[in-house]
Every structure is written in C-alpha cells, then in structure tokens.
Amino acid sequence: MSFGAELDERVQLLRGIWLFSSCTDDELERIAALARPLEVDLGAELTRQGEPGLEFYVIVSGDASATVDGDEVGTIGAGGFFGEMALIDGGERTATVTATSPMQLLVLGRHDFNEMLELAMPQVAPKLLAVVGARMRALERHDGVESTLGL
C-alpha cells in the first residue's frame, strides 16, 4: 500500500501538522478526504516562480528550498506548507520551491483548498494568515539572506 492511501492515515498525518492542530476529528476527516498524497524525489520542482498557482502543499516528511529570482529565501520542512499565497489572491507563484530531499506531501487543489478553509476557517485561518504575513515581509526584504519560511 502506498503512502497516504488510506483516509485514516491522512487524518493522522494532518493531525501532526501544526496548521491543523486545533481542528476537530470531523474537520480532519473532511480535510483528509480532500487531500491527495504525493511523493517526490530530491530535486523535484514543486512550484515555479511566475507560474499560476493551482495547488497547496503540506509537507509530511522531507525538506524544500524556496528561491526568488534564483536566490534562496528560506527552507520549509516537515509540518510546513506552501502554495497558499497564489491560491488566496489568484496571482502567480511568488517563489520556486524545490525538494532538497525525498518528500511526502499532502496536496489540495484550488477548489479543495477553498473547501478546506470553509470547513476549518476558525482553526486554520489565523495560522495561515500569520505565515502569509511573515512570507510577505521576507519577500519585501528579499536580499538573498536566508530566512526560515516554515515552522
């Protein structure tokens, strides 16, 4: 059986992610039903700066590097997430995210991301907004100095 194949396994994976830590079991089950498991190899490009954003990624295991204009602006590890900014504002990807190790992820498409927000808005939105704000500040001061984009 492959990673994340069973709904119960996806619920357990989400339960360990700080973004979803305040969600009820029912909310986690509904979000898990929307999430698609994905495994990628070292070097896989998950998002590309300037392209349309169609998916939201939650990192179950592994690490990734975020670059803007070719400069690393941060790293994202297990428990982190990315891809939310383009889904929230409908704009282009603000960074290229590349796997720096093999990774296991849970992925939500645009429609499923919006449904997840509706299902768990009070629990997820404040945490999501805090990360978006920190990432916007990191982009504004982008000068090639490494910062951490995840928790």
In this structure, what token pair is assigned to residue 97? 């995210």
CA 131 to chain centre: 11
Q: Can you name the CATH fold of 7-138?
A: Jelly Rolls (2.60.120)
pLDDT at 146: 46
pLDDT one-digit tens code per residue, 99-114: 999 999 999 999 999 9
**Shortest CA distance to 151 belongs to which of 1, 20, 8?**
20
pLDDT at 150: 44
Mean pLDDT of 119-132: 85
Residue spans of the domains in the chain: they are 7-138
How far apart, in whole angstroms, are the C-alpha atoms of residue 146 and residue 149? 9
Q: Are 69 and 49 in contact (CB under 8 A)?
A: yes
Q: Are 73 and 138 in contact (CB under 8 A)?
A: yes
pLDDT at 112: 94
Please count the other Cβ atoms lying within 10 Å of the Cβ belonging to residue 49: 15
Which residues 6+ apart lie within 8 Å of 119 measured at CB?
27, 30, 31
pLDDT at 142 over 80: no
pLDDT at 144: 46
Mean pLDDT of 16-27: 89
